[in-house]
Chain A
């Protein structure tokens, strides 16, 4: 709940601002100046509220630390063990996950040392999250959930610790070698971009471009045809001004202008695909690959090449082949489902056959 608080406060404050802006009297002498002043004052209130939330979180974190009854250290992680919550299975899963990934983290382990992992009960016992702290509710389904949770901890911690440029490039994706490539395949197969289509067809340079590893400047034709750029503008903008001219009057220059206004066109491949590329580089690099991500490098592509110990195009080619092999099968699980259906039908048939003939009272 607490992780929602900041965006909630922000949303409340901003919506208040918008509401006020709408209801400001039309008779105001200089409505724009008044509106700007009002927004500034609301932004001040928002900042103050935000600060209070941060203080609250710190207090809660401090309380949490007082609450701990015992701790278990798993590699760089400190799992807080409290009587009411069963953490042993998480500890086991985390131990297994860490033993698999410790080698490629290498000496970068110091960057994540002391990360606190807790398990909490919803809703009353939920302490706030904070920096260096990861919370999970207890799982009841079985070991697969704990494995997923451990994987999620590892992935989140390693991603959060990455250099800023790499984190920004990941665009919300989180990294861990050995993950499924089905979603990256979907991204690659369905991206509305000629660069992505060429990458899908086997062009490694197009893959490098599509994943945003090279800066196209404002030459977005390396990513999109004018029509594809128009489709992106249509998705990202209200149809007014340059966007309207772009979408309705098919004005290519307006599309570029609107993309510029939006902070640039988005690279064709999103966070999941890029995270899988990073994971692929880590897998290729093996021991210490994660640590090498922190070595000095001019750009993200160079970081990936450092981590993998290979030229970037080889890293990308390897990733592309792996993604191509990972095409999700529509038939996956169908055989199992068929077998289960037959078993269930047989069981139900037996039940139906045992229905009593003594039906008439």
Chain B
């Protein structure tokens, strides 16, 4: 099985190396850009960094990071299945392992691939925060930031991986189902509210709640993505 794991890792690498390279470059570069931009905008008229302004600037630009984590996870998951989709899964199905084993090997290989941008963003964050002056009372958190990126990336990776592992039919059913739920819900909820004078949650609000409030995995997206904080 070790040989199969190694080969699956190799396949994942071959299938996504250019993607990983681009993601790694972005992950190294973005923290530099964000921190430097925030520092640039946080200098007071006394030429000193204003801590509150630095945090405010960082807070407004750092919204990019959860998106980057989500895009990274999604792209790596899609890259994991890309070759199989292109060859109609015939090679995978002709291998002497069960489908479940095959999916698990792929999941593992993709998760390992996710470490490349994670390490890159950690390095980027570390360089970014160690090359700018940090005012008293504030601290840099590159490692925690890297962990948050990994968790968020893993969540989206797992979701997209599960979706992409299904047949096109299953994927279509799931996608159309979600669309129907959201569009139908958005139409139905206001109607029910006006008819019965009640307050209901629309599916979109529920999703927002799942992201921001519910103590579930998506909460990691709503947490602090600041590289520098108190």
Contacts and interface: CB of A to CB of B under 8 A. Distances in A.
Contacts, number: 159
28 contacts: A84-B197, A121-B197, A121-B199, A141-B209, A190-B51, A190-B52, A190-B55, A192-B48, A228-B48, A233-B45, A235-B44, A330-B226, A333-B220, A337-B148, A337-B217, A337-B219, A337-B220, A345-B111, A352-B104, A353-B103, A355-B99, A355-B162, A355-B166, A356-B167, A357-B99, A360-B88, A360-B89, A360-B90
A307 to B, nearest CB: 28
B142 to A, nearest CB: 11
B223 A327 contact: no
A247 B45 contact: yes
Interface string B97-139: 0011001101100010000000000000000000000011110
Contacts of A247: 45
Contacts of B45: 227, 230-231, 233-234, 246-247
A354 B107 CA distance: 13
Interface string A117-159: 0000110010000000000011011000000000000000000
Interface stretch (B12-20, B21-29, B30-38, B152-160): B152-160
B44 A357 contact: no
A66 to B, nearest CB: 18
A336 B141 contact: no
Interface string B179-205: 000000000000000000111110000
Residue from the set B154, B201, B209 with the largest chain A CB neighbour count within 10 Å: B154
Interface size class of A (residues with CB under 8 A): 35 or more
A356 B103 CA distance: 10
Contacts of A231: 44-46, 48, 50
Interface in A170-187: 185-186
A191 interface: yes
A333 B90 CA distance: 43
A1 B52 CA distance: 32
